[in-house]
Amino acid sequence: MPVQIDSVDEQILYYLSREARHTSAPDIAEKVDVSAPTVRNRIRRLEEEGVIRGYHAGIDYQKVDGRLTNQYVCSTGNRDREEMAQRVLGVPGVINVREIMSGKGDLRITVVGTDTDDLTRIAQGITSLGIEIDDEDLVHREYFRPYASFGPRDEEGASPVTGVAGLAGDADVVEIIVREEAPIAGKTLKEANEDELIPSDVLVVRINRDEGTITPTGETLIEEDDFVTIHSRSGVTEKTLEAFTGD
């Protein structure tokens, strides 16, 4: 059953997800305007109820002897998805497995290898379990941010544009939250292209929605509060951003 939380819990989760290692209960208490013991009790309850499932280090494996991070889109077929997810964690090099509520492509597996030969060895370990690899991508960079809706209530709303970084030369990657009044909200990507809301050189490469990740197609509908990653080699213009924000 879903766990009921209030605005204090939400803000505690926000600050922990932003930086858990260097954020203490007194730090959060000062921002949320409650006592430090209250924050500690709230965190303990959220842990016991499984809302907070752990605290993990963000590791850049490429900086450790140039290791490679690969993501596989896999299908379990008629096998028990949960069981296969647990079994694939036993393959050396697998660091993360996500179950996806779909038929084909119902497992997303992240692995780390020392080189391409090691990645091949890991892939063979995955397929030896009877899991089919449908697609794979070598990870270049990864970005995280707290869930904005859990953020501070008394501060001016943060910009929906949450991250900009270089990718493959002069390309720009922008992460943006779709607002209710945005022209693109309620349209498919195909319709957005036809209406010239998205230039031909701009690609929507990922959509995060309800804690899940969508790999978009032309028929994908853009919804309010979608966390969208867009990519352009010529740069993302203000006009393009306005299609997602309505500003």
- Three-state SS for the chain is CCCCCCHHHHHHHHHHHHCCCCCCHHHHHHHHCCCHHHHHHHHHHHHHCCCCCCCCCCCCHHHCCCCEEEEEEEECCCCCHHHHHHHHCCCCCEEEEEECCCCCCCEEEEEEECCHHHHHHHHHHHHCCCCEEEEEEECCCCCCCCCHHHCCCCCCCCCCEEEEEEECCCEEEEEEECCCCCCCCCCEHHHHHHCCCCCCCEEEEEEEECCEEECCCCCCECCCCCEEEEEECCCCCHHHHHHHHCC
Domains observed in the chain: 7-48 (1.10.10), 61-138 (3.30.70.920), 159-245 (3.30.70.1450)
Residue 108 clears pLDDT 90, i.e. is over it: yes
Above 90 in pLDDT, residue 27? Answer: yes
Q: For 60-89, what is the mean pLDDT?
A: 92
Q: Provide mean pLDDT across the span 87-100.
A: 95
Average pLDDT for 24-44: 92
In the predicted structure, residue 106 carries a pLDDT above the cut 60: yes
How much is the pLDDT for 155?
Answer: 52
In the prediction, which pLDDT does 168 show? Answer: 37
